[in-house]
Structure 1
Amino acid sequence: MRLPARLLPLTAATTASLLLTGCFSAASDTDGSSKGESRRIRVAMMQPPRSGLSPLSDDAFKLSRWSTAETLVKLDEDGDAEPALATEWKQSGRDWTFTVRDGVTFHDGTDLTAEAVVNSLTRAATASPKPRILDGVDMTVKADGDKVTVTTAEEDPLVPQRLSSPQLAILAAKAYKGKTVNPVGAGTGPFELTEVNGTSSATLDRYDDYWGGEAKAPGIDVRFVPDGTARAAALRSGEADIVEAVPVSQAAVLDQDLITEVPMPRTNTLYLNTEKGVFKDASLRAAAREAIDTKSLVDGVYEGRADVAEGLLGPALPWATGLREPAGGRAKAGDPAGRTVTIGTFTDRAELPEVAATLQQQLQQAGFKVKLEIREYANIESDALAGRFDAFILSRATVLDSGDPAAYLYSDFASEGSFNISQLADPAVDEALEKASSAPTGDARRRAIIEAEAAVLATDAAVPMLHERVVQGDAAGVADAAHDPRERELVTIDTRVR
């Protein structure tokens, strides 16, 4: 069991700090100070690049968080599309036409044109494998003057939201010369990626010809620090200005003025197998739901740094709470009568084994007998998807790449869903999910999504327990760092070190 944060030995933090000593260049401390402006921003990030910073992979989110690669569209707080490299767009059936912003240059000095947009989007649409946001989407792109037309095989109301994904960033032609996509010197953002040192570091300099104005910081120095204790120590010692993903166990021993907690669109959920076994009985699913004390999970395992779940969609989607009504139509709780259930989860997220142990105690107190099976995620996912557990604990992103939760709800709870751990096949749920998936964006779609959530909750196929938060560390001199629940922004044009 993990030691409480207040009991962690200080020597561990001190040792971790030594791992970072000298890892940021001397220029980080001095650049710009003689001019009275911000110095370079030192960032400690959790995960090193997995695919050489190719935007066609999850590395795209790093490029976005460093404000070096941009997309045609960005999302507002509610997940609605706003202009970025495209200034406007309109739909006509399966066609969406986007007007490309004038006066934008790539970091290599070439102009942003409709042809450059087509080049980037076509490379993404024909990639193998495709970026996740285009999974199952047949998309073609063509240029006409300063406009780009995106055509999908079926009418798709989410095209603008899809094009907001960092995996569909628009890069200069030079990025696509080789077999892999190389983003160095090829973006359009306020910071130019100038150097990448494998999985250890990256360097970005201010791009003076940025179309949106001049960045307040002269550059960014990034170090990849997978060890959470080391990242926290870097903030404590002053080795880093911005630290992403501070572990819950470390947050309590840091200066709380340096910590910001942001609700994530990620829900910790207990999926119950509705197809076979004990939880095929709706009354026993209800008994499990009633046995779970979610507040004790938040207070005990997450040390108060999470939010008790009222539904599948949490506070990172602020519109959900205002539309949600009390859940109804659920079965009454039955008697577990000592029936044995097996709960699976994985070790990759440090808190989940502790969640499993706590649930084991709570369900046993309610009359179930509970076995736990805990492995690495890569070794347990296939069994979970095949329905080999009575229940499975999963920390699940609820908006995926489009900023829209309908795709998550469909994949997890539709009869044909690709991630249907609950093995749910419910006609009422399927109907609600189809309605949500096809609804136009805006208020109508949000209402349909909440109706679909209610339909899922009525089955007790999933028990939402808590919504996770991202814990970010900002040194005392940092101003205007982004605190983004979708983790698309971190250092922006306005971020600086005072």
Structure 2
Amino acid sequence: MSKRIAAAFFAACALACPAMAQRSLTMGVQTPPSALDPHFHNTTNNTMMLMQIYERLFELDNKAVPEPRLATAMRAIDDLTWEVTLRQGVRFHDGTPFEADDIANTFARIPTVPNSPALYTPAVRTISTIEIVNPTTIRIRTHEPNPLMRFDMAAPFILSRRIHGQNPATSDFTSGRLAIGTGPYRLVSFAQNERLELRRNDTYWGPPEPWDRVTVRFIPQAASRSAALLAGEVDLIDYVPVQDVENIRRDPRFALFEVDSVTFVYLFPDSMRDPSPFVADRAGNPLPRNPLADRRVREALSLAINREAIATRLYNGLATPADQFAAPIAEHRLPTPGPLPHDIARARALLAEAGYPDGFRLTVHGPNGFFPSDQNLLQALAQQFTRVGIETTVQALPPANLFTRATNRDFSMFMTYFSSYLTINPLRQVVATRNPDIGFGPFNRQRYSNPAIDEPLRLALTTMDPERRQVLTHQAAQALQHDKGVIPVIFLRNTWAGRRDRVVYDPSPVNHTSAVHARPPN
């Protein structure tokens, strides 16, 4: 039964059976959003909370198929023109009607949000004008062909010109004053890093959601999330701690919801500047040049990683070794090149060849509470780098702090993840030479730049022929693979656990934890 059919079914049951009308859902979620501004930070932990309050023109389902939301249809008139049919009868939570000029107003705001760690600019980068044909039809004209337009239109949340104006402040969303969307839930309250309270939007244009109230508790500590589930304090948790998975699987009170994800963990070395802040010689003295700028050193770091051991021992099979900078099901990924090698002797030889026979010191930064066992993974990587002669320490930071500092280029190397159904998307967002004017590299926090990636990528992003686009995407991906501009580590398997008598969850490959993916068991 699809989510929306299920919602309609439960709504009908609620009308027939008043006792069923009041249903609540409490979720224990690892990572809080950094803001309720829907354009402030393009990241999973923000998006999954915002998708309950706001809506996009389309929403990608769990198989990457665009489903209609505020738009009901979209077609290409020619390579530079897209016609979009808008849904009629939609209102924002305060009763303001959704109108065609809300689209242009929203898209104009996206590149201008101040202090954003990662803007949604790639989604609107090719748009030159938006024409209102009639109240329910717009035409989007682009300055170049955009083969990813259907995916791009499933990215930005839509705001109201009347409610939000042209330059709303991020703080006004997070305070709740402007947290007004068209989505299936309305904001009740938000306490940063603590909890989010929602209630069902009873004037929603679609089938009503089955939950009358939703409470999201932000519980970054893995053990505390499990304890809250076991104690009955929450109905559902995400990022089930690896060490708890089998015990929960065997407990008849609970159900596990699992899916292979489109999420991959990677390391991003600072290879573009001298000096780099967190590298030194073995005595702790500054180095005259940045070793991470040498491709041989980056290859040595990759060779030092025992990905198979990490996947099987640290993650107990809830991860697999990464072989490239694209998820296993991503469109146009490289033909499987085989596992990335683990070779300590070769790593040491490359360090010596690069002029570091005695190695050097390195501090790696990463998140604490962004994905399962992230801090333990940092420690495991540090131990493996130390074995080849790179004496490594780690600093784990709260995600919001980590990404703010990473955006400021504070680190020599940091660890994070990316989620995408497309190989071309992380290429354009993470490793393309940063250019805010065209939406390239919003996540390129190390300012990496490689013409061998940029040139085929630029062509791929304007090529409507899928076969030609695949060839060009492969060229860019191969150039990245060779240069080790980023170092892939593992692919994650997403897990949720819930009380069998309370909730059934539709697991999300992009790792969204949201009430819109949950329904009662009967």
What secondary structure is seen at the aligned counterpart in 2 of 1:132? coil
Query: TM-score w.r.t. structure 1 length?
Result: 0.74
Equivalent residues of 1:340, 1:371 under 8 A apart: no
- In 2, the alpha carbon distance for the partners of 1:269 and 1:121 equals 30
Could you list the per-position Cα deviations for residues 96-144 of structure 1 after superposition, in whole angstroms to 9, with x for gaps in the alignment? 3311022434334444332344444444455445771126837554433
CA distance in 1, matches of 2:340, 2:240: 40
Could you say what secondary structure the match of 1:104 adopts?
A: coil
Q: 1:46 touches 1:225 (CA, 8 Å); kept in 2? A: yes
Alignment CA distance shift 1:459-1:117 (3 Å): closer
Q: Which of 76, 86, 107 is the aligned partner of 2:93?
A: 107
Alignment of 1:368-387 (within 5 A): 368-372=389-393, 374=395, 376=397, 378=401
Contact 2:48 2:514 in 1 (8 A): no
Question: Counterparts of 1:446 and 1:64 in 2: how far apart (Å)?
Answer: 32
Structure 2 counterpart of 1:196? 189
**Structure 2 counterpart of 1:342, from 340, 353, 361:** 361
Match of 2:120 among 115, 121, 133: 133
Opposite residue 35 of structure 1, the aligned amino acid is A
> Among residues 207, 224, 239, which one is paired with 1:213 in the alignment?
207
Partner residue in 1 for 2:19? 35
Using the TM superposition, give the Cα deviation of residue 381 of structure 1 relative to its aligned residue in structure 2, in angstroms: 7.8
Give the SS at the match of 1:267.
strand
8 Å CA contact retained: 1:345, 1:352: no
Deviations 1:263-285 (A, max 9, x none): 44332224456666556665555
Q: Which structure 2 residues correspond to residues 251-262 of structure 1 after superposition, within 5 A?
A: 251=245, 254-255=248-249, 257-262=254-259
The partner residue of 1:394 within 400, 415, 434 is: 415
State the alpha-carbon separation in 2 of the partners of residues 96 and 349 from structure 1. Answer: 42
Contact 2:25 2:235 in 1 (8 A): yes
Correspondence for 1:294 among 307, 314, 328: 307
1:253-332 → structure 2 map (5 Å cutoff): 254-255=248-249, 257-271=254-268, 277-278=290-291, 282=295, 285-315=298-328, 317-319=329-331, 324-326=335-337
Structure 1 contact 108–172 (Cα < 8 Å) conserved: no
Is the contact between residue 74 and residue 83 of structure 1 (CA under 8 Å) also seen in structure 2? yes
Mapped contact 2:32–2:46 kept (Cα < 8 A):
no
CA contact (8 A) 1:88 1:98 kept: yes
Correspondence for 2:237 among 221, 229, 243: 243
Post-superposition shift, 1:86?
A: 0.9
Going from structure 1 to structure 2, the CA distance change for 1:301 and 1:421 (only over 3 Å counts) comes to farther
Alpha-carbon displacement from aligned partner over 1:223-244 (angstroms, at most 9, x marks no partner): 3334433322221112211223
The correspondence of residues 21-170 of structure 1 with structure 2, limited to 5 A, is 35-36=19-20, 39-51=23-35, 53-58=36-41, 61-66=47-52, 68-77=53-62, 79=64, 81-91=66-76, 92=78, 94-124=80-110, 127-128=113-114, 132-134=119-121, 137=125, 139=127, 140-145=129-134, 146-152=136-142, 154-165=144-155, 167-170=156-159
Taking a change above 3 Å as real, the CA distance of residues 325 and 291 of structure 1, as seen in their structure-2 partners, is same
The answer on whether the counterparts of 2:433 and 2:444 sit within 8 Å (CA) in structure 1 is yes
CA contact (8 A) 1:40 1:217 kept: yes
1:168 aligned counterpart, secondary structure: coil
User: What is the SS of the residue equivalent to 1:205?
Assistant: strand
Cα distance in 1, alignment partners of residues 207 and 247 from structure 2:
39
Q: For residue 120 of structure 2, give the secondary structure of its aligned residue in structure 1.
A: helix
Name the residue aligned to 2:500: 476
Q: Is the 1:398–1:405 Cα contact (8 Å) retained in structure 2? A: no
Q: CA RMSD in A?
A: 4.3
The separation in 2 between residues aligned to 1:444 and 1:292, in whole angstroms, is 34
The CA deviation at 1:193 is 0.8
2:514 aligned partner: 490
For residues 399-449 of structure 1, the C-alpha deviation after alignment (integer angstroms, 9 at most, x for no partner) is 3xxx64434224544455566678765543333333333333866545543
User: Is structure 2 residue 422 aligned with structure 1 residue 429?
Assistant: no
Please list the CA deviations of residues 5-33 of structure 1 after superposition, one character each: whole Å capped at 9, or x if unmatched. Answer: xxxxxxxxxxxxxxxxxxxxxxxxx9998
For residues 405 and 178 of structure 2, the distance between their equivalents in structure 1, rounded to whole angstroms, comes to 37
TM-score (norm 2): 0.71
Note the residue ranges of structure 1 that are not aligned, 5 or more in a row. 1-29
CA distance in 1, matches of 2:368, 2:164: 34
CA contact (8 A) 2:362 2:390 kept: no
- Mapped contact 1:288–1:363 kept (Cα < 8 A): yes
What is the distance in 2 between the residues matched to 1:470 and 1:355? 16
For 2:103 and 2:447, how far apart are their aligned partners in 1? Answer: 41
Q: Are residue 409 (structure 1) and residue 397 (structure 2) matched?
A: no
Q: How many aligned residue pairs are there? A: 457
Gaps of 5+ in 2: 1-13, 273-288, 435-440
Say if 1:356 and 1:393, in contact at 8 Å, map to a contact too.
no
| 1:324-351, Cα deviation, whole Å (9 max, x unpaired) | 2427999987454433133332253364
